[in-house]
Amino acid sequence: MDIKYLKGVGPKNAEYLRSLGIYTIEDIFYYFPRDYEDRANTKKIRDLKDGEIVTLIAEVALINGTRKTQTGKNLTSIVFKDDTGFITGIWFNQPYIKKTFKVGEKVLLYGKVNRRFAELQMVDPKYEKNFDNNDENSVGILPIYPLNKYLSQKTLRNIIKNALINKRELLKEILPKRILDEFNLVDIQTAIDNIHFPKNKDMLNKSIYRLKFEELFLIQLGLQYYKKSINSDLSAYNIPLSGRLKELKEKLPFELTNAQSRTIREILLDMKKNKPMNRLVQGDVGSGKTVIAAIAMFNCAEAGYQAAMLAPTEILAEQHFSSITSLLKDFDLNIALITGSTTKKQKEKILTDLANGEIDIIIGTHALLQENVEFKNLALVVTDEQHRFGVRQRATLVSKGHNPHVLVMTATPIPRTLALFMYGDMDISIINELPKGRQKVDTYFVRSTMRERVYNFIKKEVMEGRQAYIVCPLVEESEKIEAISAEEAYDFLVNNTFNGNDKIVAVLHGKMSNEEKDFIMQKFKEGAIKVLVSTTVVEVGVNVPNATVMVVENAERFGLAQLHQLRGRVGRGSLKSYCILISDATNKEAIDRLTIMTKTNDGFVISEKDMELRGTGELFGMRQHGLPDLKIADIFKDIEILKTTRDLARRLIEDNMLEKDEFEPLRIKIESMFKEKIDITTFN
């Protein structure tokens, strides 16, 4: 029901409320306080202690004038009393205060007590006049709402109170009684009453719990409900362990890390089951995910089935093709590559061979998703660098097989709780270990006055046979003034640093055609180009182990996760590597971010910090996944509730409980919540 139908809300207030995102009366019930002031325990002046925060009921005893302090401020003081003593309220630079009180008037004061010598004081206390002892609007635990300049706390409190009194029938219980009972939850009306105007601390806590529970439960239930609707009774390819796995392992150019071995074990076991694998592999940049994909695809091919790997860019697809071909070279498998630049003739052959089963493993870009691509028996789909893909694209590939196993690999470190939340029922493997011998990338944060020295350092590394990246952010024309462009960086390098040698420096920018980009990347990989200046983010995942320097210009323009990805382009071999962040940022948040980069190389730590700085929601595209915003729960702090609700949701879905009458309101709720928004293929 539109908020304007609430009594006492005129057109002005309705407009102000909309500016807070409140459109309906239902919205207002769910507009939760960000904090509370505990005014529940009023005290007598005699009992006040230095430093405590209290509520008092007192009478105005004396209104002193305003005087100037030594530091030039206006100080207004007013003396209050109760039947046990006196206390002085002090306000700075608010001379009008003295006009708001009348001697003899009763007021409610709230604030921190200071004892100065014999005198008790409260500096800038909050006050309320005309209060009524029984009015919980004044005495009690008071809500503090997130507001903008248009509405006052008092106005919003009154509007909400009014809604709670006059429109409470709009608050309908959606949780069935048996759930309320089992988890000891207060009913919805009690919860909403008390989240706004708590009777006491205990009721407040119970209400918070109930609302967090509901919020997380609805999401988990929605995820599981839709997952089941697409995934029920799936029988999958049952892929046995190949007898040649051991041989493959012995032929690898390196020894697998423990984390890699564990992940591979988990994958192979999944593929042996009758149910399609649905696994997310998270491993920091450079943790060695490619070999894991190679082994999984190898095992699939050995059983006579086909495997496909989807990469977000041509460069990456080619790189995977060449590393995987090389890792599996001794095993006479037919491995193919398909991208946008595959010629028509090659493509025709590939399509035929795929359809009749000649090709065992195919690696490709979006070209793999085209309609005319058909498989004989696609049993495993691997997608790399998942955050670059829409979930729909992954689903398209999956639909080319009959319930193939799915492996998703991502280098975006997501804290486990977030992954649990976002991926609902996906199993997760974490590669929390880098291959031996990797050196930590030394990271520096410098000002642009150091640029020449930084470029000279690049020159020194190039002289020693190494390579370097310089990444410049893409800038809008209008912002050009402060940001260095790739062209400028290129000119400076060629003309000053490398004394006119323009053969070894190249620019890569977004406007180039794919062929041009590939050509330059290829030259960089071969080592002909020593310094690559890039306007776009260097392709996620490129592997040039000889590159030892990553310079990021105007580094403040990048998020932490992005900087971490960029840094991951160096330090991929055993050579000592460096990441230099150039920035003249002056704002604290940017400086904090860049400083964090210099302190840790751990992607998980970085993503947690990123969340602290930026908040959870925006970060990993939760919205893109179609998940609603969290209003009250916090997936880090409320991990226990998250688990409880996840288990409960799973149980209810397994038992088909949502079909029952008592669950109908709940089912309607999740259907409306997730309507069109949820991309159910998240799970496939």
258-287: contacts with ligand ADP (CB under 6 A): 260, 283, 285-287
257 binds ligand ADP (CB under 6 A): yes
Instruction: Tell me if 342 contacts ligand ADP by CB under 6 A.
Output: no
- CB closer to ligand ADP, 295 vs 507: 295
Q: Tell me how far apart the alpha carbons of residues 644 and 646 are, in angstroms, rounded to a whole number.
A: 5
Contacts of 394 (CB under 8 A, 6+ apart): 310, 381, 383, 386, 406, 408, 681, 684
Question: Per CB under 6 A, does 525 bind ligand ADP?
Answer: no
Q: Do strands 427-431 and 278-283 pair parallel, antiparallel, or not at all (unpaired)? A: parallel
Of 140 and 571, nearer to ligand ADP (C-beta) is: 571
Q: Which does 242 bind (CB under 5 to 8 A by kind): Mg ion, ligand ADP, none?
A: none
Closest CB 564 distance from ligand ADP, rounded Å:
12
Q: Which of 214, 26, 236, 106 is nearest to 684 (CA)?
A: 236
Residues 6+ apart with CB under 8 A from 196: 32, 33, 143, 157, 160, 161, 164
Judged by CB under 6 A, the chain residues 592 through 611 that form the site for ligand ADP are: none
Min dist CB 544 to ligand ADP, Å, is 9
291 contacts which partner out of ligand ADP, Mg ion, none, CB within 5 to 8 A by kind?
ligand ADP
For residue 543, state whether it binds ligand ADP (rule: CB under 6 A): yes
Shortest Cβ distance from residue 223 to ligand ADP (Å)? Answer: 27
Nearer to ligand ADP among residue 291 and residue 547 (C-beta)? 291
Regarding 571 and contact with ligand ADP (CB under 6 A), the answer is no
- For residue 500, count CB atoms less than 10 angstroms from its CB and return exposed for 0-12, middle for 13-18, buried for 19 or more: exposed
Q: Where does residue 143 fall: left (phi above 0), alpha (psi -120 to 50 degrees), or beta otherwise?
A: beta
What are the DSSP calls for 268-294, one per residue? HHHHHSSS--EEEEEE-TTS--HHHHH
The upper half-sphere exposure of residue 73, i.e. CA atoms within 13 Å in the direction of its Cβ, equals 9
Please report how close the Cβ of residue 283 comes to ligand ADP at its closest, in angstroms.
Answer: 5
Write down the least CB distance from residue 289 to Mg ion, Å: 5
- Which structure tokens are listed for 81? 């009393």
| Minimum gap (Å) between residue 190 Cβ and ligand ADP | 50
**369 phi/psi in degrees, rounded to 5:** -90, -10
Question: Measured from the CB of residue 451, what is the shortest distance to ligand ADP in angstroms?
Answer: 29
Report the residue number, 285 or 632, with the smaller CB distance to ligand ADP.
285
**For helices 603-614 and 560-567, angle between their N-to-C axes, nearest 10 degrees:** 160
Query: Between residues 94 and 323, which has the closer beta carbon with respect to Mg ion?
Result: 323
The smaller minimum CB distance to ligand ADP, of residues 76 and 290, is found at: 290
40, 123, 174, 256: which one binds ligand ADP (CB under 6 A): 256
Task: Choose from ligand ADP, Mg ion, none: what does 312 bind? Cβ within 5-8 Å by kind.
Answer: none
Using CB atoms within 10 A of its CB, is residue 212 exposed (0-12), middle (13-18) or buried (19+)? buried
- CB nearer ligand ADP, residue 564 or residue 572: 572
Helices (H), 401-479: 416-422, 451-463
Which two structure tokens, joined as six digits, stand for 342? Answer: 């595959």
CA distance 614 to 607: 10
Can you tell me which of 366, 572, 609, 650 binds ligand ADP, judged by CB under 6 A? 572
In the bound state with Mg ion, the residue whose beta carbon lies nearer, of 13 and 601, is 601
* Cα angle 74, 79, 82; round to 5: 155
Task: Return the closest-CA partner of residue 195 out of 405, 445, 54, 28.
Answer: 28
Task: State the Cα–Cα distance between residues 487 and 80, nearest whole angstrom.
Answer: 70
Instruction: Give the range of 209-217, 223-231, 255-263, 296-304 binding ligand ADP by CB under 6 A.
Output: 255-263
Closest CA to 305 of 263, 264, 362: 362
Phi, psi for residue 589 in degrees, rounded to 5: -60, -45
Of 198 and 541, nearer to ligand ADP (C-beta) is 541
Question: Which helix (H) or strand (E) is 10 found in, with range?
Answer: none
Binding of ligand ADP at residue 290 (CB under 6 A)?
yes
Q: Which is nearer to Mg ion, 176 or 541 (CB)?
A: 541
| Residue 189 CB contacts under 8 Å (≥ 6 apart), including other chains | 168, 171, 173
Does residue number 288 form part of the binding site for ligand ADP (CB under 6 A)? yes
Q: Which residue, 113 or 292, is less far from ligand ADP as judged by CB?
A: 292
Contact by Cβ (8 Å): 162, 8: yes
**Considering the complex, what minimum distance in angstroms separates the CB of residue 611 from ligand ADP?**
22
Residues 647-666 that bind ligand ADP (CB under 6 A): none
Least separation, in Å, of the C-beta of 290 and Mg ion?
Answer: 5
The one segment of 268-276, 540-548, 651-659, 662-670 that binds ligand ADP by CB under 6 A: 540-548
The two three-digit tokens of residue 640, written as one number? 């226990």
Residue 313 lies near ligand ADP (rule: CB under 6 A): no
State the minimum distance, in angstroms, from the CB of residue 611 to Mg ion: 23
Tell me which stretch binds ligand ADP (CB under 6 A): 9-17, 272-280, 521-529, 541-549: 541-549
Measured CA distances, 376 to 268, 275, 305, 408 (Å): 22, 20, 8, 22
Residue nearest ligand ADP by beta-carbon distance: 288
Output the smallest distance, CB 563 to ligand ADP, in A. Answer: 16
Task: Answer with the entry of Mg ion, ligand ADP, none that 283 interacts with (C-beta below 5 to 8 A by kind).
Answer: ligand ADP
Closer residue to ligand ADP in complex, CB, 141/292: 292
629-637 long-range Cβ contacts below 8 angstroms, 24+ apart:
630/215, 631/30, 631/32, 631/215, 632/32, 632/208, 632/211, 632/212, 632/215, 633/212, 633/215, 633/216, 635/216, 635/417, 635/418, 635/420, 635/421, 636/415, 636/417, 636/611
Tell me the window of 40-48, 64-72, 537-545, 608-616 that interacts with ligand ADP (CB under 6 A). Answer: 537-545
Per DSSP, the residues of 603-638 read: HHHHHHHHHHHH-HHHHTTTTTTTPPPPSS--TTTT
Choose between 312 and 541: whose C-beta lies nearer to Mg ion.
Answer: 541
Per-residue contact flags (x/-) with ligand ADP for residues 422 to 451, judged by CB under 6 A: -------------x----------------
Q: Which CB sits closer to Mg ion, 281 or 369?
A: 281
- For Mg ion, the closer CB: 39 or 569: 569
Q: Round to whole Å and give the CA distance between 79 and 434.
A: 67
411 lies in the site for ligand ADP, by CB under 6 A: yes
The rounded distance, in Å, linking the Cα atoms of 565 and 607 is 11
By CB under 6 A, tell whether 548 contacts ligand ADP: no
Could you tell me the smallest distance in angstroms from the CB atom of residue 541 to Mg ion? 4
Q: What is the smallest separation between the CB atom of 323 and ligand ADP, expressed in angstroms?
A: 7
Binding site for Mg ion (CB under 5 A): 541
Interface ranges with ligand ADP (CB under 6 A): 254-257, 260, 283, 285-291, 411, 435, 541, 543, 545, 572
